[in-house]
């Protein structure tokens, strides 16, 4: 489940968006329709991007054709839900907007390929006099052209929630999931003022996932490490098989299943741990590290595999729903090489291989990661109260 704050309604309460994930069990006919929709979405994306580039090269102006232009030359586009094609146009337009706004962090939109890009499509809900185009039933989801697709719900929406759209996604293991976006209004949470006793600082740790300012370390199950031997054996078997054979395809499917299982374990841990922290503390301080940069600095493992970026995002929205802040400390702040006792800043970065170090000024023996977490907490609180003073004086 994911959520974010949106625009304000006339009620004065903020609009909130919540996504519910459901497992879909389409019939063979519905699977065929979904497969056609995936292919049509890739086709329309590539055609619009190609024509946009050609138009720009010829005229120097920016223009993206609408999907309706291609239906005469590609009648198979009429077999799928038109809303899925319209959403591809919207996604491509949004991709160009963020690229023009910040080309340093967002790359130019690329062409989609069947082998590397995931199979998914999005359709918006429209309410007519005859009823909505997308709605949920007791054991399914009704969609345009597909009809009612059998579904398993882990959670049900509240009666006043408005269904906005659904994204259908097919995993590499052949499972189908629906991500249903709802809009609803909630009362503005009462802002919680953090104190030193009710605030925790978190420092990313490659060994423990994170270490907090109290010295406690999180030790999640080592998903990939536990499955490493199985993956290595499977990879050796794949190298001996004939690509394209039945045994090869079955082994590839097992390979995808193991990785999917690891991802599900990681996601489950991240949601449970972020919920525990959000309920236990009034504020959380973290450093605003870029995951790619952190991965480059560490150099000893894959930071992305840990899911720490997703963990911070889960903390952000879960704290916000309770009126609690997530305090982001600038990534240039020298949390590791600053003594949390006397404030002495070491001239050089402390090596990641050193678990402890001694402050040359006060002689304190410091644990590297716990010390950094305490500095992050102190800096986060200082930034928060400084901003509060500026608001009050304004």
Q: What token pair was written down for 384?
A: 């928060």
Kindly report the number of other CB atoms within 10 A of residue 227's CB atom: 16
Please, which pLDDT band fits residue 89 given cuts at 50, 70 and 90? very high
Quick: pLDDT tens for 1-16.
454 444 444 456 778 8
| Average pLDDT in the chain | 88
Q: Work out the percent of the chain whose per-residue pLDDT is above 70.
A: 93
Q: Are strands 326-329 and 283-287 parallel, antiparallel or unpaired?
A: parallel
Question: H-helix or E-strand containing 271?
Answer: helix 246-280
- Phi (first) and psi of residue 23, to 5 degrees: -85, 130
- Phi (first) and psi of residue 221, to 5 degrees: -55, 140
Q: What pLDDT, on the 0 to 100 scale, is given for residue 11? A: 52
Residue 195's DSSP bridge partners are: none
CA distances from 222 to 12, 20, 257 (A): 45, 27, 17
Q: What pLDDT, on the 0 to 100 scale, is given for residue 10? A: 47
Quick: pLDDT tens for 316-362.
999 999 999 999 999 888 888 889 889 888 887 776 677 888 888 88
Residues 361, 363: Cα–Cα separation, whole Å: 6
pTM (global) more than 0.85 = no
What the chain holds in terms of domains, given with CATH numbers, is 2-185 (no CATH), 199-222+263-393 (3.30.420)
Quick: pLDDT tens for 229-268.
788 888 888 888 988 899 998 999 998 998 888 888 889 9
Quick: pLDDT tens for 185-214.
888 889 999 999 999 999 998 888 899 999
- Phi (first) and psi of residue 211, to 5 degrees: -125, 135
Contacts 24+ apart (CB under 8 A), 88-92: 88/41, 88/44, 88/45, 88/48, 88/121, 89/44, 89/48, 89/64, 91/45, 91/122, 92/45, 92/48, 92/49, 92/52, 92/64
Residues 322, 318: Cα–Cα separation, whole Å: 7
Residues 394, 390: Cα–Cα separation, whole Å: 6
Quick: pLDDT tens for 135-187.
999 999 999 999 999 999 999 999 899 999 999 999 999 999 999 999 998 88
Kindly report the number of other CB atoms within 10 A of residue 246's CB atom: 9
SS3 assignment, position 327: strand
Q: What pLDDT, on the 0 to 100 scale, is given for residue 12? A: 62
């Amino acid at each position: 489940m994911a959520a974010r704050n949106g625009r304000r309604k006339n009620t004065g309460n903020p609009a909130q968006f919540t996504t519910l994930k459901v497992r879909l069990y389409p019939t063979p006919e519905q699977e065929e329709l979904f497969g056609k929709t995936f292919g049509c979405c890739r086709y329309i994306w590539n055609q619009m991007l190609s024509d946009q580039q050609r138009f720009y090269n010829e005229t120097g102006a920016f223009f993206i054709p609408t999907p309706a232009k291609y239906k005469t030359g590609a009648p198979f586009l009429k077999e799928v839900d038109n809303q899925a094609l319209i959403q591809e146009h919207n996604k491509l337009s949004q991709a160009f907007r963020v690229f023009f706004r910040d080309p340093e962090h967002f790359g130019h939109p690329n062409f989609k390929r069947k082998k590397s890009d995931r199979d998914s499509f999005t359709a918006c809900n429209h309410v007519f006099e005859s009823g909505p185009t997308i709605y949920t039933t007791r054991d399914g989801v009704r969609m345009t052209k597909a009809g009612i697709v059998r579904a398993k719900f882990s959670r049900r929406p509240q009666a006043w929630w408005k269904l906005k759209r659904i994204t259908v996604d097919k995993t590499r293991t052949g499972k189908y999931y629906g991500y249903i976006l709802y809009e609803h209004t909630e009362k503005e949470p009462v802002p919680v003022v953090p104190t030193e006793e009710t605030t925790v600082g978190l420092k990313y740790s490659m060994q423990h996932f994170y270490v907090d300012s109290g010295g406690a370390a999180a030790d999640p199950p080592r998903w990939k490490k536990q499955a490493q031997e199985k993956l290595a054996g499977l990879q050796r078997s794949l190298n001996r098989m004939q690509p394209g054979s039945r045994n090869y395809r079955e082994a590839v499917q097992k390979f995808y299943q193991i990785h999917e299982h690891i991802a599900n374990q990681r996601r489950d841990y991240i949601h449970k741990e972020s919920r525990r922290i959000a309920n236990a503390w009034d504020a959380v301080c973290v450093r605003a590290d870029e995951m790619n940069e952190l991965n480059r600095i560490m150099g000893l493992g894959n930071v992305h595999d840990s899911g720490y970026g997703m963990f911070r995002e889960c903390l952000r929205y879960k704290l916000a729903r309770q009126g609690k802040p997530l305090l982001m400390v600038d990534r240039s702040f020298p949390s590791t090489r600053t003594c949390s006792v006397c404030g002495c800043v070491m001239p050089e970065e402390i090596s990641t291989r050193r678990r402890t170090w001694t402050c040359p000024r006060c002689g304190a023996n410091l644990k590297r990661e716990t010390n950094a977490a305490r500095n992050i907490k102190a800096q986060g609180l200082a930034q928060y109260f400084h901003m509060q003073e500026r608001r009050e004086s304004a």
